[in-house]
Amino acid sequence: MSIYRRGGKYWYSFVFNGRRVQASTKVGNKNDARDIEKAAWTQLARGEVGLPVEGEKKLTTTELLDALEKHYRSEGKASPQNLSTLAVARGAFGKKKTLTKADVDQYIERRLGEGARPATVNRVIEVVRRAFRLAKQVAPEMRHLREDNAREGFFACDELDRVVYALPEDLKDFVRFTFATAWRKGEVASLRWSDVEDCVIRLRAANSKNREARQVVIDGDLIDIVKRRRAVRAVETPDGTALCEYIFHRNGDPVKEFRKSWARACVAAGVGKMVCPKCKSEGNTLFCTECKMATKYCGRIVHDLRRSGVRDMIRSGVPQSVAMKISGHKTASMFRRYDITSESDLRQAMLSVQKYREAERQKVSVIAGK
């Protein structure tokens, strides 16, 4: 493999599977050119891209991201989160016809300097990498930041009751159901009455994150939840009264984002707070009167309901294999991340050990007395 300078830019040239691969790196820095050459060789060796076709046009970064969005929409993966990440990637790299390692590194350092978490930065970088891979084009080297911000939040029953009490009526049962089943927010929002059959609620494979269908039996708290949802199924429309197809809805529309309602309820329940990004003052309003800025919510999130559901299933004696079938976790390692250990769990563990040791000492005393 070799690089050489031509017209102020570096080119690379090497032989792969008997064919010469030659292309411009579009950069004038020799070290960046070597990184691009190395990335091109690695992606060919791994089969991530194919050998270039004669006369094939290379897509710009914007075209690559547009193609990825079309792919998302055709595969049913155009979730608000994916589309939002794509929008961020376009804002960061869309104006660059040719993306380089230096461009990616500059973005990473800028976002970290702005206070973004490594996981947030990684999601954007991964979208760009996926766009290159989908188009079978050589991507510049993109480093992956170490993530150490795994969340460990969960709800105790009394905390959940306070949050539910402070929520709008059309969200109360949605949150209760999410807590009871440990399903994802988007999965619960997708449920229709056609999914209810023979005392079972079935989640369609198309609406599951891992594309695997699963189900939950309507029993316990779910009986009352389903009864209440049936009672409010009828909604007023311009043509009169109609039955809503969604189990959980807001005036007939499916449940989507409810961040403000969630933040208000958690603050009222004492499991969240509003923080001014400028003066760092804490309060319970969506606006800082001192800095005239919108405050940022910090506290429990909706996904903590899923962690709580998993944790409670394990502590109530549900076998892990059954709990994984309900929650939809495919691997035991990821499932264990959701089985949060609290301070009370650790205290109970120490008490259990103490009782065990006291019982062992009593056995020794009895044997010695004989």
Tell me the pLDDT tens digit for each residue of 300-317.
999 999 988 888 888 888
Q: What is the DSSP letter of 246?
A: B
Last residue of a domain, one of 244, 271, 298: 271
**Which structure tokens are listed for 18?**
């008997």
pLDDT in tens, 130-153: 998 888 777 888 888 887 655 667
Do 260 and 164 have their domain in common? yes
Owning domain of residue 111: 59-149
pLDDT in tens, 151-165: 667 888 899 999 999
- Whether 365 is covered by a domain: the verdict is no
Closest CA to 187 of 113, 129, 254: 254
Do 48 and 69 have their domain in common? no
- Whether 291 is covered by a domain: the verdict is no
Which residue is it, tokens 């619960």? Answer: 188
Do 168 and 230 have their domain in common? yes
**Which structure tokens are listed for 27?**
């950069």
- Whether 348 is covered by a domain: the verdict is no
Provide the number of structural domains found in the chain.
3
Do 123 and 166 have their domain in common? no
> Which pTM was predicted?
0.64
Judge whether 225 and 240 are in contact, CB under 8 Å: no
Last residue of a domain, one of 271, 299, 323: 271
Q: Which helix (H) or strand (E) holds 15?
A: strand 9-16
Burial (0-12, 13-18, 19+ Cβ within 10 Å), 182: buried
Judge whether 263 and 229 are in contact, CB under 8 Å: no
* pLDDT(325) > 50: yes
- Whether 105 is covered by a domain: the verdict is yes
Q: Tell me which amino acid residue 317 is.
A: G
* CB count in 10 Å sphere of residue 124: 22
Q: What is the DSSP letter of 59?
A: P
Do 24 and 67 have their domain in common? no
